[in-house]
Chains A and B, each alone.
Chain A
Amino acid sequence: MSAQVRVVSGGLSTTVQDLGRTGRYAIGMPPSGAMDQYSFRVANLLVGNPEGAAALEATYIGPSLEFTDDRLVAVTGGDAAVTLNGEPIPMWSSTQVRSGDVLAFGMITSGARPYIAVSGGIAVPEYLGSRSTYTLIGLGGHEGRTLADGDVLPLGDGSTGEAGAVVPDELVPQFPSDIDVRAVVGLCSYRLTEAALESFLSTPWRITKDADRVGYRLRGGTLDFVEREQPFGAGSDPANVVDLGYPLGSIQVPGGDEPIVLLGDAVTGGGYVTIATVISVDRDLFGQAKTGDTIRFRDVGIDEALAARADRNRRLDRIRSALA
């Protein structure tokens, strides 16, 4: 029998994810993939997997998993009490598991999404080059859906890595509930009045319960549009534009009162005004943000976005060499 992991309990919303199904945005296919790509990559590094191996992404309440052979596991991302056969085990480090061992989760204490990597990776079949789950359409991952009690997931050939690898403390991210997010203002921001744009950047936005892998809906203020005669084809509402592509991380404002930040399972286009784009590094922050958390946006230029990206690459490099 080939190796597998048994899902004793699926948790609240657990999916198989990898780095994403890129390159098909033009047919309307969002990349999906791990919402917090930093935590995801580190989980794989800890168990000796390639960084893009498929792992599990849990939301709020993690799953219970029973192993059927010897493996290394690592849990990163949102903080939760993680146990192996009832005994606590540390996050951000690798742990040996044996056949019959059960990994389980307590409630999350900070962040939103724990990542669980298993040596060998989750070996569900690839769909269009990726093992990521896209639940909106029901494709990829395990049967295109969140895990349910009793599911059985295939595992790839395990690595021979050793347990006890640990991520240095200073490279473990913190997940506060008050979040500063860097965004590049632009796209169709000309549709907002100057006061509205200022208000967008100074408002502490609260994350509503409409927050999932597609996007996060925020509340906290009202943004006024510049009055105009609507251009042909756009539709008559001032929040409408001629339908266009939405960058991943872009912020749209239907109605002007509820900004929506588009994430991994994003709708790829539409006709609402988009006013800014969260920089790629800070998309990870949304992966660990939860309902009730507060977001403040800070306008940055492209150079600062690139510097943040370089900084993240350096942190990953340090982990790679620490764990090599």
Chain B
Amino acid sequence: MSQPVQLPPARYEHGGDEFIFVEIAEEMSMEANIKATLITQELESRQMSGLVDICPSNASYLVRFDPDVIPPADLMALLKDLEGRFQEVPEGFTLQTRVVDVPVLYNDPWTHEAMMRFRDRHQDPESTDLEYGARTNGFDSVEAFIEHLAGNPWIVTMLGFVPGLPFCYQLEPRERQVQVPKYVRPRTFTPERAFGIGGAFSVVYPVQGAGGYQLYGMSATPVLNVRQDHPDFAHSIVFPGAGDILRYRSVDRTEFDDTRREVEAGTFRYRQHDVEFSPAAFLDDPQGVNDRLLEVLYR
């Protein structure tokens, strides 16, 4: 087994009188995310009145509460107590989750056009976002870079920014993780369903709007369905959930267009399977776990 990674103590901050922000770690890691998951799951299970929102984030979490019901000092004490109980990932801890196939047209014409409109806000206006990402991450070609992004799946470590936007962390050992900066100044336009990366996180933008991540492609399928008229959205207006494992599979234009037609017709269903994900097993043998996840997804 790999050594359990020790995390520094969390940092507790008041976000005004209604929020407490808890930073588990300044840098992203699977361990920090799991710790945030464990604490927020435990908090959720208590069903405390006066707790308004419990938001697990990448390496932190955020709680909104009504201070007229729960005194902030009491909540702060409870959160610190919970941290003490989750110093390490419990023996045998697994995440009951699902692995999902997300068809993406990489290097698509729409995000390409959006990207070209904002070259003046980019680190390297002479390159495209894909060329820049490939070069700064040591890939020989844009194709090899895309192959990497589309290869191993990503785990959803946070939802937010706007409803349904999944922040995803690739299931890769640290040395194989890609990183890119966010735009120097955020764009004012990003197409709906754009797939991009900022820092170590990939996202799919649920709707058209502002955005600061590098743009690499477009998902054929929605992550947000306000009218809930797609079968995969019957229970929630957002499709991804924290802990979901998404594979951003590279598809060609024909499959992309076919899938778009199915989505428009309301007949599309995500290819997905329930899985048990063991963070400890992943940290021990990343590629082995990934191979099994993909096997389950496509069998």
Contacts and interface: CB of A to CB of B under 8 A. Distances in A.
A184 interface: yes
A233 B199 contact: yes
Interface in B59-73: 59-62, 64, 67-68, 72
Contacts of A248: 16, 18-19, 64
Contacts, number: 202
Given A236-B181, A302-B17, A25 B64 contact: yes
Interface stretch (A85-93, A101-109, A195-203, A271-279): A271-279
A271 B157 CA distance: 14
A122 interface: no
Interface string A1-37: 0000000000000000000001111111100000000
Contacts of B59: 233, 242, 244
Interface in A132-174: 136-139, 144
A306 B58 CA distance: 29
B84 interface: no
Given A26-B55, A244-B58, A255-B185, A309 B17 contact: yes
Given A236-B181, A247-B18, A279-B17, A136 B209 contact: yes
Contacts of B224: 137
Nearest to B26: A231
Nearest to B242: A26
Given A26-B53, A245-B160, A268-B161, A234 B64 contact: no
Contact of B14 (A231, A235, A302): A302
Given A269-B158, A306-B17, A232 B27 contact: yes
B54 A26 contact: yes
Contact of A242 (B18, B181, B199): B199
A183 B25 CA distance: 24
Interface in B222-276: 224, 226, 236-238, 242
A28 B164 contact: yes
A313 interface: yes
Contacts of A22: 52-53, 64
A242 B62 contact: no
Contacts of B207: 136-137
Interface string B150-180: 0000000011111111010100001001011
A187 interface: yes
B182 interface: yes
Contacts of B174: 232
B184 interface: yes
B160 to A, nearest CB: 3
Nearest to A279: B16
A243 interface: yes
Nearest to B241: A27
Contacts of A249: 15-16
- A248, A268, A277 — which one has the most chain B CB atoms within 10 A of its CB? A268
A187 B182 CA distance: 21
Contact of A184 (B15, B25, B53, B60): B15
B127 to A, nearest CB: 16
Contacts of B186: 254
Contact of B159 (A27, A234, A241): A27
Contacts of B159: 26-28
A242 to B, nearest CB: 5
B64 A247 contact: yes
A231 B28 contact: yes
Given A23-B53, A231-B25, 10 more contacts: A25-B52, A28-B159, A136-B162, A233-B58, A236-B181, A242-B25, A242-B27, A269-B167, A277-B15, A302-B72
23 contacts: A23-B52, A24-B163, A26-B242, A27-B160, A27-B164, A136-B162, A136-B207, A231-B25, A233-B28, A233-B179, A242-B25, A242-B199, A243-B201, A245-B21, A247-B15, A248-B16, A248-B18, A248-B19, A250-B15, A267-B161, A279-B16, A305-B14, A308-B17
Interface of B: 13-19, 21, 23, 25-29, 52-62, 64, 67-68, 72, 158-165, 167, 169, 174, 177, 179-182, 184-186, 198-201, 206-207, 209, 212, 224, 226, 236-238, 242
